Structure 1
Amino acid sequence: MTQLNETTLKELVDRIFGDLGGAFSVPLVRIGDDLGLYKTLKAIGPATAEEVAVAAGCTPRYVREWLAAQAASGYVHYENGRFSLTPEQAYVFAEPDSPVNLIGAFDTAAAMVGNQAKVQSAFKTGEGVAWGDQAGCMFCAVARLFRPGYVNALVQEWLPALDGVNAKLKSGATVADVGCGHGVSTVLMAQAFPKSQFTGYDFHLGSIAAAKAHAEAHGLTNVQFEVGRAQDFDGSDFDLITCFDCLHDMGDPEAAASHIKKALKEGGTWMVVEPLAGDTLEENINPVGRLYYSASTMICVPTSLAQETGLALGAQAGEKRLTEVIRSGGFTHVRRAAQTPLNMVLEATW
C-alpha cells in the first residue's frame, strides 16, 4: 500500500469538509431567500427562532433548525439565544443591490446540480446541452448571479473607462447589447442614458420575453428587445455594441466578432465583458478560477458545443485567447479598459 502523508491527507479532508458544508448549504440559503428569512432577520434581529418564524410566517421548528445551520456556517450571528445578521452578512444575503450579494451564485449552483445528468451524458457523446435545455431556470439564475456586478460597476466604472463612449451616450447614441439575456445590462444602460436608443439581442426566446417584461416594468421607452444570434442579428450603424459574460458561451464567437464589426458605424466601439482569468491554468488555480472552471464545465462549454461550430472557449479563456477571437473579426485595437475581482472589460476598435 502506498504510504500516506497524514498531514497532507488531513488538510485535504478538512478542505473537503468545508466544501461539503457549503454544498449542503445551497438549498438552505435558497429557502432563506425564497421565504424572506434573511430579510426578516435584518429587520427584527436580534431575535429568537420563534420570533423569526412568526415574523416570516413559517413554522418555528423548521426555522430553528435552519437558523442553527446558518449559525454553524457563519451566515448568521448567534449570541445569547438570539439570532441576527451582521452588516456584512446582510450585505451578502439580504441586500439585492449589494456588489457582493451572492444569492444568485447559490441559485446557479442548484441549477448546475440539476444539470448533471445532461452534462454527464454529453461527456460521452461530445454533444452540447442547449441553453434552453439546461435544468431548472438556469438563465434566471445566471441573470441574478451577474446582476450585482452590473448594478455596481457598469454605468459607474466600465462605460466611463471606454474612450469617448460616455460622451456619445449622454448626447444620444445607438447601442446593441448582444447576448443580453434577461436584459439586466440593457435596462441599466437605458435608465442611465435616456437620450440613447438601446436594442438587446439574444437567441433564447424565453430570455427575450423576460427582458421585455423587465423593461416594461421600468417604464422605459428607449429600449427594445429582439430575438437574434450574435453572428447575424439585424441592425447596423451602432455607436456601441456590448457583450456581457457571453462571448465565451457562443458557438462561433469569431463569426460574431466579424458581424459585430460590420454592425458598428465607423469609429464605433465593441465592449466585451468576460470573466477575469489568466492565460494559463497555473494562473487560474485560485478560488475565482475554481468557481469559473466548474461553472464552465456545467454551463458554458455545453452551451457552446450545442451551437454551430462549437468553439467552446470556456469561462477561463483568458485575455490572450479572447483578444485573438476579437481580432479575427477585423478589430485592430484591443485593450483591457477596466476590471473587477470577477470580470475584465475589453475595448475593441479599429
Structure 2
Amino acid sequence: MTETVVQGTTQRTIDPDKLMSFVFRAVDEVGATLNTATVVMGDKLGYYTAMADGRPVTPAELAERTGTSEHYAREWLNNQAAGAVVEYDAETRRYTLPAEHAVALADPTSPAYLAGFFQLALGTVHDAESIYQAARDGDGIGWHEHHTDVHHGCERFFRTMYNGHLLGEWIPALDGVAAKLEAGGKVADVGCGHGASTILLATAFPNATFVGSDYHEASIEVARERAAAAGVSDRVTFEVAPATGFTGTGYDLIAMFDCLHDMGDPVGAARHVRDAIAPDGTWMVVEPMAGDRVEDNLNTVGRAYYGFSTLLCTPASLSQDVGLALGTQAGPAKIRDVSTAAGFTAFRTAASTPFNNVFEVRP
C-alpha cells in the first residue's frame, strides 16, 4: 500500500513499509549515539576492565568491583546487553563480556583496541553546537578549541594503529628508510600530538634523532612528559610549531600521521617539507583510508570518517590560514596533487589498512 503526500508544491509517493523501516533504523541510530557515551562510561568507570576476565557478574558484583552505584551498573549492563556488547544469561541473571569484546574494549595493547575511538567520537559530538554555528557563519573551529576527549581519544585510537602497523608494516614498506634509521637517521614527526608515533619510532631506532612538532601547546607538554617516561628524551625534541614552520633541515624521514587533511594550508606545509627534507629523504604521509570518489567511501569506515570530517577535521582546516579543507576522505589523488604542487616528483601508496593509507613521497 502506498500513499501520496504533498511536500510544498511536489507530490511524492510514500511506501509505508519503507518509511517504517527507516523509522526503526533511526531508533537504532539513536541507540548507537547513546551507546558511544555508555561505552566511554564503561571505559572510564572500569566496567570493561572488571569484566575482562570473563567471569559472569551481577549488577551488584560489578558495582562492588568498581566502587560505583549498583543502580548505574544495572542500567549500564542492560544497555550493553541490548546492544550485544555483553551477553546476558536469563537463568542466572548474570552478564558476561565475551573475550573478543574484552580485547577491543579492555586491552590497550591490542591492535583492535577501540576505547579511544569512542572517546574521540564522544568528544567530537560534545562540541557539535559550535560546529552548527560555524557552518552558518562559514567559520572554523580549531583543534585546540575542542573538548579534551578529542585530544586524548584521538591519541588512544591512533596509537593502537601505530602499535599494530608502524614498525612491522609501514616503515618496512618505505624504500630504504629502515636502514637509514638503524644507522642513525634524522626524523621529523609533524603534527605529532601527544607524541605516540614519535616515541614509538625513537624506541625502535635508538641511533636516530627525532623532532616532534605540533601547534597545540597542551599536546606538546604531554608529549614531553611521555618521552621522559619512556626514556628517550635524550634523542627526542618536541616543539610548538605549525606545519609550515617546524625547525630543522636534512631530514631522512618526515612523517605526518593522520593530520595533513586537517591543515589549513597543506600545500604550504608540503612546500616546507620539501625544503626541510634531505635530497634522498622520504616524506611518509599517513591518511585515513579513502578512495578518490564519493561512491568509493560510502561504507562503514567512510561513514565514520565523513562524520569526523564534518564535525572535526574540516572545521579545523577552516580555522587556519588558507582553509583548503581537504576533508578526512581526501583520497590518494588529492594528496598526490598536494605533493606535486609542493615540488615532489615521486608518489606511491606504500601500504594500507582498513583505516589508513600510507603514502611514500620523495623529492
Secondary structure of 1:43's match? coil
> Is 1:101 matched up with 2:113?
yes
Unmatched segments (≥5 aa) in structure 1: none
Cα distance in 1 for residues equivalent to 2:292 and 2:27: 31
Aligned counterpart in structure 1 of residue 88 of structure 2, from 78, 82, 87 = 78
Q: Once structures 1 and 2 are overlaid, which stretch shifts more, 129-138 or 23-32?
A: 129-138
Secondary structure of 1:129's match? coil
Aligned residues of 2:122 and 2:149 also touching (Cα < 8 A) = no
Aligned counterpart in structure 2 of residue 303 of structure 1, from 313, 316, 339 = 316
Aligned counterpart in structure 2 of residue 46 of structure 1, from 18, 31, 56 = 56
Please list the CA deviations of residues 235-284 of structure 1 after superposition, one character each: whole Å capped at 9, or x if unmatched: 11110000000000011100111110111111000000000111111111
Shift of 1:44: 6.0
Please list the CA deviations of residues 41-96 of structure 1 after superposition, one character each: whole Å capped at 9, or x if unmatched: 11362222222211111222221111111111111122232222111111111111
Aligned residues: 350
Aligned partner letter, 2:132: Q
Equivalent residues in 2 for 1:117-132, closer than 5 Å? 117-132=129-144
Cα distance in 2 for residues equivalent to 1:7 and 1:147: 44
Secondary structure of 2:109's match? coil
Cα distance in 1 for residues equivalent to 2:230 and 2:353: 27
Shift of 1:107: 1.1
Secondary structure of 1:3's match? strand
Cα distance in 1 for residues equivalent to 2:303 and 2:21: 18
Aligned residues of 2:267 and 2:339 also touching (Cα < 8 A) = yes
Cα distance in 1 for residues equivalent to 2:16 and 2:270: 52
Q: Once structures 1 and 2 are overlaid, which stretch shifts more, 301-310 or 137-146?
A: 137-146
Larger of the two Rg values belongs to structure: 2
Please list the CA deviations of residues 139-173 of structure 1 after superposition, one character each: whole Å capped at 9, or x if unmatched: 22211221111111111111110001011111111
Please list the CA deviations of residues 20-47 of structure 1 after superposition, one character each: whole Å capped at 9, or x if unmatched: 1111112211111111110001136222
Secondary structure of 1:90's match? helix
> Is 1:345 matched up with 2:358?
yes
Partner residue, 1:65: 75
Partner residue, 1:12: 22
Cα distance in 1 for residues equivalent to 2:93 and 2:279: 66
Cα distance in 2 for residues equivalent to 1:288 and 1:16: 19
Aligned residues of 1:114 and 1:136 also touching (Cα < 8 A) = no
Aligned counterpart in structure 1 of residue 186 of structure 2, from 174, 179, 185 = 174
TM-score where L is the length of structure 1: 0.97
Aligned residues of 2:283 and 2:361 also touching (Cα < 8 A) = yes
Aligned counterpart in structure 1 of residue 66 of structure 2, from 23, 39, 56 = 56
Partner residue, 1:149: 161
Over 6 Å off, 4+ runs:
none
Aligned residues of 2:119 and 2:149 also touching (Cα < 8 A) = no
Partner residue, 1:272: 285
Equivalent residues in 2 for 1:23-38, closer than 5 Å? 23-38=33-48
Partner residue, 1:133: 145
Secondary structure of 1:336's match? strand
Partner residue, 1:287: 300
Q: Once structures 1 and 2 are overlaid, which stretch shifts more, 4-13 or 121-130?
A: 4-13
Cα distance in 2 for residues equivalent to 1:8 and 1:331: 51
Partner residue, 2:8: none
Unmatched segments (≥5 aa) in structure 2: 6-11
> Is 1:254 matched up with 2:264?
no
Cα distance in 1 for residues equivalent to 2:161 and 2:103: 14
Cα distance in 1 for residues equivalent to 2:168 and 2:65: 37
TM-score where L is the length of structure 2: 0.94
Cα distance in 1 for residues equivalent to 2:216 and 2:336: 26
Aligned residues of 1:277 and 1:319 also touching (Cα < 8 A) = yes
Aligned partner letter, 1:7: D
Aligned residues of 1:277 and 1:289 also touching (Cα < 8 A) = yes
Q: Once structures 1 and 2 are overlaid, which stretch shifts more, 142-151 or 160-169?
A: 142-151
Cα distance in 1 for residues equivalent to 2:103 and 2:239: 35
Cα distance in 1 for residues equivalent to 2:204 and 2:22: 48
Aligned partner letter, 2:272: H
Cα distance in 2 for residues equivalent to 1:176 and 1:267: 15
